[in-house]
Chains A and B, each alone.
Chain A
């Protein structure tokens, strides 16, 4: 089945700097790669996703890149703000709806 690994587990950046979170997956047949943001006391919220027919997707300060050959995808957040502080999860489809990485706790220091 699908296995998703996510790094780093924690990340601290200064406000205004960029943050990058990386994930690898094992199933070469996977074709959909979402990223979720979870704030304290809330459920995960989809922030961006990418399908296997494109290599990059951007939405304002957030971008996701996909390298199918290497089986890894990354989340890039530019000009970080304090409200970006949260736990971020990557995921890929497996035999279940989604298999999630273990999460990255991002702290943006003002």
Chain B
């Protein structure tokens, strides 16, 4: 069974540019979540998608956006890149959305991440 696939794995952009990251969840998983990981802030939640609908959004500016397609694949976009956007962007998939699993819990399987460097 293939895991969560994220592309690209590494990318370098300059300030002001935009970037699109892609995530293919485990087959059968309908929920996709995105997290930003930085050394100082740890893992911070960006968004959660289930059945093409955004269910939750973290405390990030509107430059961060995402979407989910009918095949559950997801993309996130960051526009007008800033130096502080340099981070590892992690995608995680799960069978159900948060709050819908057994005992109201959600088991996440992460991809290897997309490492973004903004110069």
Contacts and interface: CB of A to CB of B under 8 A. Distances in A.
Interface of A: 31-32, 34, 36, 41-46, 49, 51-53, 89, 93, 95-103
A96 B35 CA distance: 11
B42 A102 contact: yes
A45 B110 contact: yes
A93 B110 contact: no
Interface of B: 4, 31, 33, 35, 42-43, 45, 48, 56, 58, 90, 92, 94, 97-99, 103-113
B98 A43 contact: no
A98 B107 CA distance: 9
A89 B110 CA distance: 13
Contacts of B107: 34, 46, 49
14 contacts: A31-B105, A32-B103, A32-B105, A34-B107, A43-B4, A43-B112, A51-B105, A53-B103, A96-B45, A97-B56, A97-B106, A97-B108, A103-B42, A103-B43
B103 A97 contact: no
Most buried by A among B4, B35, B43, B92: B43
A53 B104 CA distance: 13
B106 A43 contact: no
Given A42-B112, A46-B109, A99 B104 contact: no
